[in-house]
Amino acid sequence: MDVNQEDREQDLIEKSKQGNLEAFEELVILYEKQIYNVAYRFIGNHDDASDLAQEAFVRAFKSIKSF
C-alpha cells in the first residue's frame, strides 16, 4: 500500500468518525471484497459470508469513533 492510499484511508476514517456517511461508504467500497473473501474462506457459504461481511461493516460503523 502506498503512502497516498494510506493518507486517503486515514482521511476517510477521520471523516467517518465525524459522522460523514459518504466517507464510510467509500471505506466499505474499498474493503467489501476483501472482507467478503475472508468471511467466505472461513464459512464456505456465499450467503452467510455476505451476511457476515455486512455485520462486520455495521459493527465497524457503530464503533468507528473509538478507532
Contact indicator for 32, 53 with CB cutoff of 8 Å: yes
For the segment 39-63, what is each residue's pLDDT rounded down to a tens digit? 999 999 999 999 999 999 999 999 9
Instruction: Evaluate whether residue 47 is within a structural domain.
Output: yes
Sign of the C-alpha dihedral computed for residues 53, 58, 61 and 63 taken in this order? negative
Q: Give me the domain span that covers residue 54.
A: 32-67
Q: Is residue 5 part of a domain?
A: no
Residue 56 in any domain: the answer is yes
d(CA 41, CA 46): 10
pLDDT in tens, 8-38: 999 999 999 999 999 999 999 999 999 999 9
In a domain, 14, yes or no: no
- How many domains, in total, are found in the chain? 1
Task: Report yes or no on 10 lying in a domain.
Answer: no
- pLDDT of 1 > 70? The answer is no
In a domain, 19, yes or no: no
What's the rounded Cα separation, in Å, for the pair 33 and 26? 13
Residue type, position 24, single letter: F
Is residue 40, in this structure, part of any structural domain at all?
Answer: yes
